[in-house]
Amino acid sequence: MKILITGATGLIGRELVTLLLANQHTVHYLTTSKTKVAEKPNLKGFYWNPQAGKIEESCIYGVDAIIHLAGANIAKRWTKSYKQEIIESRTLSSELLFNLLKKTPHQVKQIITASGTAIYPESVNQVYDESATQTEDSFLSNVVKKWEDSVNTFQVLGIKVCKLRTGIVFSEKGGALPEMVKPIAMGFGAAMGSGKQMQSWIHINDLVAMYRFALDNQLEGLYNAVSPNPVSNAVLTKAIAKVLKKPLWLPHVPEFVMKLILGEMAYLLFSSKNLSADKIQTLGFQFQFPEVESALRDLYK
């Protein structure tokens, strides 16, 4: 199968490309950096610039499916201009791909897109699945709505649309986890706020395996890309300390302190999402790392 990937040089994209190539797929990837355009066996890069509406038409030649991971990092301070970038990096890239497919002969049958869990209501005890209609009123929830709407348009072209609402990705190579680990490794670790907020997480190996599962089974619709066992922030903090063999000395960090340091982005530390993975499991997907401690031990051996 030939697959076009956006965001292929990011944390998830790099692991996914490796997995797909290992399974004898051919990968085309789009990059906004001309220096990252390269060609290797079964791997070819193409330049695009969603802001300027530029894309190499040949990126789509012979492609069977698109995996859409492109999007500005949300773990940066949310200035007014950066908020706009967070939204447009997702919506404009979707629109550019849609317009290319609309005007170009192609054989694309499916698009699988990353999405976020921020759309779900805040919850400690209530577990939400993909059928939830209630949504949260927040900046990131609005991002998810616009992001998913921009990809839903592909359905008018007869293309299957699959959206993976992704929790906190556990990887030692980047993302949120190393930032959680750093203070604990230095002996300054503490839970955030009450520590009761639920964190729906997923090991990066399980996440890329889920993309492959969605591809192999031509899935469409919404799926929560989260472990079947979410944990509270306090439990996660203790698990990290246990795996690193470090003590936790400090009391919980008050929310107002982190808001002073991080501004609106402190939402990421105190948001509580308690999500179900039942839907994808019912279809036969098996998690390699369903428990938080085994996932952490794999990454920090």
pLDDT digits (tens, 9 = 90+) for 131-171: 999 898 899 999 999 999 999 999 999 999 999 999 999 99
Planar angle of CA 269, 11, 49, nearest 5 degrees? 105
Per-residue pLDDT at 112: 99
pLDDT of 257 above 90: no
Q: Are strands 39-40 and 43-49 parallel, antiparallel or unpaired?
A: antiparallel
Per-residue pLDDT at 256: 87
**Single-letter amino acid code for the residue at 63:** V
Residue 169 near residue 13 (C-beta atoms within 8 A): no
**Single-letter amino acid code for the residue at 237:** T
pLDDT mean over 178-193: 89
Please write the tens of the pLDDT for every residue from 108-139. 999 999 999 999 999 999 999 999 998 988 99
Residue 252 near residue 183 (C-beta atoms within 8 A): no
Domains of the chain in sequence order: 2-169+201-227+275-288 (3.40.50.720)
Per-residue pLDDT at 188: 85
For the chain, what is the mean pLDDT? 95
Residue 47 near residue 31 (C-beta atoms within 8 A): yes
Q: How far is 159 from 100, CA to CA, in rounded Å?
A: 13
* Plot region of 47 (φ>0 → left; ψ -120 to 50 → alpha; else → beta): beta
Per-residue pLDDT at 251: 81
Phi, psi values for residue 114, rounded to 5°: -70, 150
Per-residue pLDDT at 254: 86
Per-residue pLDDT at 252: 86
Q: State the virtual CA torsion across 108, 110, 116, 120 in degrees, nearest 10.
A: 140
Please write the tens of the pLDDT for every residue from 265-292. 788 788 999 999 999 999 999 999 999 9
Per-residue pLDDT at 150: 97
Per-residue pLDDT at 77: 83
Residue 3 near residue 28 (C-beta atoms within 8 A): yes
Output the CA torsion sign for 147, 179, 170, 249.
negative
Cβ burial of 256 (10 Å; 0-12, 13-18, 19+) is exposed
pLDDT mean over 79-102: 96
- Rg for the chain, CA atoms, rounded: 19
Nearest to 138 by CA among 286, 8, 264: 264
- pTM for the predicted model, two decimal places: 0.95
Q: How far is 292 from 276, CA to CA, in rounded Å?
A: 15
pLDDT mean over 71-87: 90
Per-residue pLDDT at 24: 96
Entry field: residues in the chain: 301
